[in-house]
Amino acid sequence: MNRERRRRYDAAMAEVTADPYAHGKALGGNKDRRQAALAGTLTVYWVSSGVLTVSLVTIVHTD
């Protein structure tokens, strides 16, 4: 990931961590497994509200 994309990705992830349910969509009927397009990537992440963590699962560059 080049520096500019990384900067944009980090900024987008900061928004996701502030409100993870407001971004992307739920996968497989599980509201805690989410997918979002962030800074030219397809990002899949899990949300665990009980312990306030967001775990990144996969990043796929889309361009």
Are 20 and 13 contacting, i.e. CB atoms less than 8 angstroms apart? no
The whole-number pLDDT of residue 47 equals 86
Q: How far apart are CA 25 and CA 49, in angstroms?
A: 16
Q: What pLDDT digit, counting tens, does each position of 38-63 carry?
A: 988 888 888 887 776 766 666 777 66
The whole-number pLDDT of residue 17 equals 85
Average pLDDT over residues 1-10: 90
The whole-number pLDDT of residue 7 equals 95
Residue 46 burial (CB count, 10 A): 15
Are 16 and 36 contacting, i.e. CB atoms less than 8 angstroms apart? yes
**Residue type, position 49, single letter:** S
Average pLDDT, the chain: 85
Q: How far apart are CA 47 and CA 35, in angstroms?
A: 11
Average pLDDT over residues 14-43: 90
